[in-house]
């Protein structure tokens, strides 16, 4: 059994995917972590910016070659850690998500994971292109969204515990920017498929979203 969960940044799709997997005893993969892991390792290799339209084509090519190596060597499952969630890593991950060479390598890894769940039961994957590209054959597809202001508020509540300087308006600006990038990406953009079950989590808590999803799955 395959469950695909797509949605906007900070919509609660990750929380839903993790709790659904736990509830059903399925394997879980946060596919954003793959892009973030490539970005973090790229940073460690000195790749900070990724100006592909750089006039210095040779430099751009050598950067992409390094990224391809990093992507090939990535092994699942990946461990989440704070460095993967930093602002710098997020920005680089968004740029890396635009590179077809990297998407192809990560696509294969996501499909391998989905086809061999260690639980032997099923998988839940969350991301931006799961229902459209990674698992078009998924038995259940979800699309999760919430108003940008609500998503910024939730992220603010989460972040202010560790960062007292963070501003809600900055988070809202970032969310709007990431939405624009996700919806308009040339390759594998975020898409709300007509056959994906839509949940607007704006006025719902995590338990309510989980119950709605479980009700849908259980018919």
Pick from 12, 127, 131, 148 the residue near ligand DC by CB under 6 A.
Answer: 127
Q: How far is the CB of 78 from ligand DC (least distance, A)?
A: 11
Q: Whose Cβ is closer to ligand DC: residue 168's or residue 181's?
A: 181
Q: How far is the CB of 151 from ligand DC (least distance, A)?
A: 12
Pick from 4, 8, 17, 32 the residue near ligand DC by CB under 6 A.
Answer: 32
Q: How far is the CB of 94 from ligand DC (least distance, A)?
A: 4
Q: Whose Cβ is closer to ligand DC: residue 43's or residue 56's?
A: 43
Q: Whose Cβ is closer to ligand DC: residue 36's or residue 63's?
A: 36
Residue 35 in contact with ligand DC, rule: CB under 6 A:
yes
Tokens of 177: 């920017």
Q: Whose Cβ is closer to ligand DC: residue 97's or residue 146's?
A: 97
What is the spatial distance between Cα 61 and Cα 74, in angstroms, rounded to a whole number? 20
Residue 31 in contact with ligand DC, rule: CB under 6 A:
yes
Residue 97 in contact with ligand DC, rule: CB under 6 A:
yes
Q: Whose Cβ is closer to ligand DC: residue 37's or residue 117's?
A: 37
Segment interacting with ligand DC, rule: CB under 6 A, options 31-39, 111-119, 154-162, 201-209 = 31-39
Q: Whose Cβ is closer to ligand DC: residue 143's or residue 218's?
A: 143
* Cβ-based neighbours of 67, under 8 Å, separated by 6 or more: 38, 42, 47, 96, 99, 101, 102
Residue 131 in contact with ligand DC, rule: CB under 6 A:
no
What is the spatial distance between Cα 212 and Cα 40, in angstroms, rounded to a whole number? 35
DSSP track, the chain: -EEEEEE-TTSSHHHHHHHHHHHHT-EEEETHHHHHHHHHHHHHTT-----TT-S-HHHHHHHHHHHHHHHHH--SSPPP-GGGGSHHHHHHHHHHTT-HHHHHHHHHHHHHHHHS-TTSS-EEEEESSIIIII-TT-SEEEEEE--HHHHHHHHHHHHTTT-TT--HHHHHHHHHHHHHHHHH-SSS-----TTSEEEE-TT--HHHHHHHHHHHHT-
Residue 124 in contact with ligand DC, rule: CB under 6 A:
no
Q: How far is the CB of 198 from ligand DC (least distance, A)?
A: 18
Q: Which residues bind ligand DC (CB under 6 A)?
A: 9, 31-32, 35-36, 93-94, 97, 127-129
């Amino acid at each position: 059994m395959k469950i695909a969960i797509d949605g906007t940044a900070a919509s609660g799709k990750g929380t839903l995917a993790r709790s659904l997997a736990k509830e059903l005893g399925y394997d879980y993969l946060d596919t954003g972590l793959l892009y973030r892991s490539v970005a973090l390792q790229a940073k460690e290799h000195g790749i900070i910016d990724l100006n592909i339209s750089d006039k210095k084509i040779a430099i751009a090519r050598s950067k992409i070659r390094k990224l391809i190596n990093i992507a090939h060597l990535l092994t699942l499952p990946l461990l989440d850690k704070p460095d993967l969630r930093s602002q710098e890593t997020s920005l680089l991950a968004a740029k890396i998500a635009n590179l077809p060479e990297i998407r192809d390598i990560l696509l294969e890894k996501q499909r391998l994971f989905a086809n061999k769940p260690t639980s032997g039961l099923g998988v839940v994957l969350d991301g931006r292109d799961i229902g459209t590209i990674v698992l078009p054959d998924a038995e259940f597809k979800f699309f999760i969204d919430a108003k940008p202001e609500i998503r910024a508020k939730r992220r603010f509540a989460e972040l202010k515990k560790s960062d007292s300087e963070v501003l809600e308006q900055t988070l809202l600006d970032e969310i709007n920017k990431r939405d624009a990038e996700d919806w308009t990406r040339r390759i594998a953009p975020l898409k709300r498929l007509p056959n994906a079950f839509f949940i607007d989590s704006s006025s719902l808590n995590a338990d309510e979203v989980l119950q709605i999803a479980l009700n849908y799955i259980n018919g």
